[in-house]
Chains A and B, each alone.
Chain A
Amino acid sequence: MLQYIIKRLLSTIPVLIGISLLLFFMLRMLPGDPAQVLAGQMATPEEVENIRNQLGLNEPIHVQYGKFLTRLVQFDLGRSARTQSPVTGEVWARLPNTMLLAVVAITLACVFGIPAGIISAVRPYTWMDYLVTSAALFGISMPVFWLGLMLVVIFSVVLHWLPAGGTGTWQHVILPSVTLASFVVAFIARMTRSTMIEVLSQDYTTTARSKGLKERVVIIKHALKNALIPIITVVGLQFGLLLGGAVLTETVFAWPGIGRLIVDSILARDYPMIQGTILIFGLLYILVNLVVDLIYAYVDPRIHYD
């Protein structure tokens, strides 16, 4: 297992290099002087020159990349062109807010999506199945930001039950996390349904039934356990979707997370901050995929990582 973890960690290196290349060339693809872009429009010539020396912009491109990597490994992404505060500090400060939303949303999505998919698979082509599959299709087609706005209209403007935005209390978490979860629950329900239908037609399920086991035991102990691998995979993959959705949801609810930070940075052309937010999103995505891979081994003992 330890060997597998090491191997799996090593396999993330090419992706990390990819992210670093993307961030490196991002600034160099922009029209104009990267030092000026990084320093911002209000910077003095001395500050621009300082950044130019720091980045080694007069040196060959591979030396520049080497320096960039060294700073990246130290999580040194410079200062925000907008607020002049260190990028890493600001990104870390916002991370818990985004993580809170993501974790609550993914939990909600699993709690509703998996049972909905199971019900749909156990009673295929009945009204319950059609209800779940239609709802899932609606969920996939619905713009998350629109759903968020409509929830605000209903629960904040009309009913006055929940706050329309901001943070502070647990009530503030409800609307953004439900909005974000709606985005993912549909995928989880669809995947659970199709996997369960396949598993329920397998010989071992028929054997379990013919032994006289209760239907509940057959579904949970025999079928669901075997359907978990693709479900976990889809939950892991949806985390990426969730991060994309977080950008929109945080904007709708004025939620002070990384998603909102990335939009504000793009609008202000604050490139050091854009680099920082993209880096953190990339790292999060890699980390979640790594954790998902490790969960496989725990869930399915047939998997050997040799």
Chain B
Amino acid sequence: MTETAGIIRKPASQLRRNWAKLRRNKAALVGGFILLGYIFTALFAPLLFSGNPSAPNLIMSLEGPSAQHPLGTDELGRSILGRIIWGSRVSLMIAIGVVAVGLFVGVPFGLISGYYGGKADFGIQRVTDMMLAFPGFLLALGLVAVLGVGIKNTVVSIGISMVPIYIRLVRGCVLTVREQVYVEAARAVGTRDFKIILKHILPNVMVPITVQTSLGMGNAILFAAGLGFLGIGVQPPTPEWGAMLGSGRAYLFNAPHVATFPGIAIFLSVLSFNLLGDGLRDALDPRFKL
């Protein structure tokens, strides 16, 4: 009897099972590793490059890659490697900020719209329709035109452009979840709506939100780099990858390395979020697979 009792194991938790599924996905693992490297670089930027990444050194202007400057220097003689390392902080900060705006505004409205239906749903959905009438990047451009340039306005503009995506996603999931028996049971025993949404609905829509957050971070980096490239995002001398690319454009013929390396940094960081996002979708909920 004691032997039998020893064989019976506690069932693995949902989190552990999902982690096991995610670990089996090689692409997601590669994405995870690149992402870890990216986060590490952003966190320990002062240790990895101790100098001032914005301090000009005109004698070293537009130097090619060398032992002293492994990725060369830009038009003001600043180390491109140093600026990429410090730029990782800026882009990660923007990505987190953008997704936070999307989540904190989009998720509550999506929950209300899906759970209550009726007039609230109608009103929220019409506003969402209007916002979706513009492609995301154009909406962000329009908002930047009103709010002005800079890190804060870049975050707000791109964040707002992502809000309708979260509203639509969460609303769609809530419509399915709210019909489940456990929600009906909670309602039948007199649980308040707020508690039902928080305890029963929200945990069950977390999977698509998590996937969207990962993919959204990648998009946020791309959008922010796009605005920086156009000169209407983060302003110099702040080291921002898109702005670095934008300034490198003028030196394509004599110093193509200036525009090459920041682009690789943007590509790798976006790729890491996309790989992880795809992996999370496959592991957590194959229904959402494209």
Contact = CB atoms under 8 A, between A and B. Distances in A.
A29 interface: yes
A61 to B, nearest CB: 17
B12 interface: no
Contacts of B142: 22, 26, 274, 278
Interface string A121-153: 000000000000000011011111110011011
A138 B271 contact: yes
Nearest to A242: B135
Which secondary structure dominates where chain B touches chain A? helix
A247 B230 contact: yes
A194 B289 contact: yes
Interface string A2-40: 000000000000110111011000100110000000000
A223 interface: no
A87 to B, nearest CB: 14
Interface stretch (B13-21, B172-180, B262-270): B262-270
A157 B263 contact: no
B138 A150 contact: no
Contact of A18 (B133, B245, B260, B266): B133
Interface residues of A, number: 49
A4 B140 CA distance: 33
Contacts of A244: 135-138, 141
A116 B152 CA distance: 41
Contact of B249 (A18, A142, A252): A252
Contact of A286 (B133, B146, B253): B133
B271 A281 contact: no
A241 interface: yes
A118 B290 CA distance: 15
A142 B141 CA distance: 20
Contacts of A251: 229-230
A150 B263 contact: yes
With a 10 A CB-CB cut-off, give which of B127, B133, B142, B256 has the most chain A CB atoms: B133
Interface of B: 27, 126-127, 129-131, 133-138, 141-142, 144-146, 218, 222, 225-226, 229-232, 242, 245, 248-249, 252-253, 256, 259-260, 262-263, 266-267, 270-271, 274-275, 278, 289-290
Interface of A: 14-15, 17-19, 21-22, 26, 29-30, 137-138, 140-146, 149-150, 152-153, 157, 164, 190-191, 194, 240-241, 243-245, 247-248, 251-252, 262-263, 265-267, 271, 274, 278, 281-282, 285-286
